[in-house]
Structure 1
Amino acid sequence: MTSKADLEQWLAECDAELERGHDTGEIWQRRSFCLARLQRYPEAILSFQQALSLDPNNPKVWCNYASTLAATRQLADAVYAYDRALDLAPNYANVWRRRGKVLYHQKEYVRAIESYDHALVLEPTDARVWYGKGLASYQLGQIKQSIEYFKVAIANDPNSPEAYISLAHALIDNNQKSQAFAYLQPWITKGCQDARLLQCYAYLLDQRRDHEEALHYLEEACVLDPRNVDLWFHRGIVLTRLKRLPEAHEAFREVLKCRADRTDGWLALGLVLRHLSEPEAAIAAFDKALALSPSHPLAFFHQASCYAILGRDDWAEEHLRRALSLDAQTYLLKARQDPVLQALETRLLPAAKTG
Structure 2
Amino acid sequence: MSNVIPMRRAFSHTIYKMLESRPDSYHDWLDQGHGLRDEGRYREALTSYDLALEYKPNDYWAWYWRGDVLDALGHFEAALDSYDKALEEYPTDYWAWCHRARVLRELERYEDALASYDNALIARPEDYWAWYNRGRVALEDLDLYEVAIASFDKAIEVRSDDYWSWYRKGDAFRHLQRYEDAIASYDKAIETEPQDYWAWYRRGDSLRYLGRLEEAITNYDEALTVKPSDPWSWYKRGEILRCLGRYREAITSYDEAILSNSDDGYAWYNQACCYALLGNIQSAIASLQEAIRLNPIEFQDFAKTDPDLANLRGFEF
* Bin of the TM-score, shorter chain as denominator length: 0.7 to 0.9
Output the amino acid matched with 2:295: L
Contact 1:161 1:197 in 2 (8 A): no
Equivalent of 2:133 in 139, 142, 166: 166
TM-score by length of 1: 0.67
Query: Which amino acid in structure 1 is aligned with residue 101 of structure 2?
Result: G
From 326, 330, 352, the equivalent of 2:295 is 326
Which of 73, 76, 80 is the matching residue for 1:109?
A: 76
Residue 54 of structure 1 corresponds to 14
Q: Are 2:312 and 1:344 aligned?
A: no
Aligned to 2:176: 208
Give the C-alpha shift of residue 158 in structure 1.
1.8
- Code of the residue aligned with 2:12 in structure 1: it is L
Write the deviation string for residues 142-173 of structure 1: whole angstroms up to 9, x where unpaired: 22222222222223322223222332233333
Shift of 1:248: 1.6
User: CA distance change for structure 1 residues 331 and 126 in 2, over 3 Å: closer, same or farther?
Assistant: farther
Aligned counterparts of 1:86 and 1:264: Cα–Cα separation in 2: 50
Q: Count how many residue pairs are aligned between Structure 1 and Structure 2.
A: 296
From the superposition, tell whether residues 50 and 114 of structure 1 become closer, same or farther in structure 2 (CA, over 3 Å): same
* Amino acid paired to 2:177: R
The 3 A distance-change label for structure 1 pair 298 and 98 is farther
Q: CA deviation at 1:217?
A: 2.4
In the aligned structure 1, how far is the partner of 2:72 from the partner of 2:304?
A: 45
User: 1:267 matched to which residue of 2?
Assistant: 235
Q: Which has the higher contact order (CA 8 A, sep 6+)?
A: 2
CA displacement at 1:92 relative to structure 2: 4.6
Q: Which amino acid aligns with 2:5?
A: I
Q: Does 1:68 align with 2:43?
A: no
CA contact (8 A) 2:235 2:254 kept: no
| Superimposed CA distance per residue, residues 90-139 of structure 1 (whole angstroms, 9 cap, x where no aligned partner) | 55534543443454455443333233233223322222222222222222
C-alpha distance in 2 between matches for 1:335 and 1:171: 43
The alignment partner of 1:55 has SS state of: helix
Once superposed, what is the RMSD of the aligned Cα atoms?
3.6
Q: What is the match of residue 314 of structure 1? A: 282
* Structure 2: distance between partners of 1:208 and 1:162: 24
SS in structure 1 of the partner of residue 126 of structure 2: coil
Q: Name the counterpart of 1:252.
A: 223
- Does 2:4 match 1:44? yes
TM-score between both structures, scaled by the size of structure 2 = 0.74
Give CA-to-partner distance per residue, 1:211-256, whole Å, 9 cap, x none. 3432332233244456754444334433544431343233331442
1:111 and 1:263 map into 2 onto residues whose CA distance is: 41
Gaps (5+ residues) in structure 2? 20-27
Which amino acid in 2 is paired with 1:286?
A
- Aligned partners of 2:312, 2:93: CA distance in 1, in Å? 67
Query: Equivalent residue for 2:103?
Result: 136
Cα distance in 2 between the residues matched to 1:343 and 1:263: 23
Task: Look up the match of 1:238.
Answer: 206
How far does residue 186 in structure 1 lie from its aligned partner after superposition? 3.8
CA–CA separation in structure 2 for the residues paired with 1:154 and 1:118: 19
Distance 2:58 2:43 in 1: 16
Identity over aligned pairs, percent = 19
Gaps of 5+ in 1: 1-40
**Residue identity opposite 1:87 in structure 2:** L
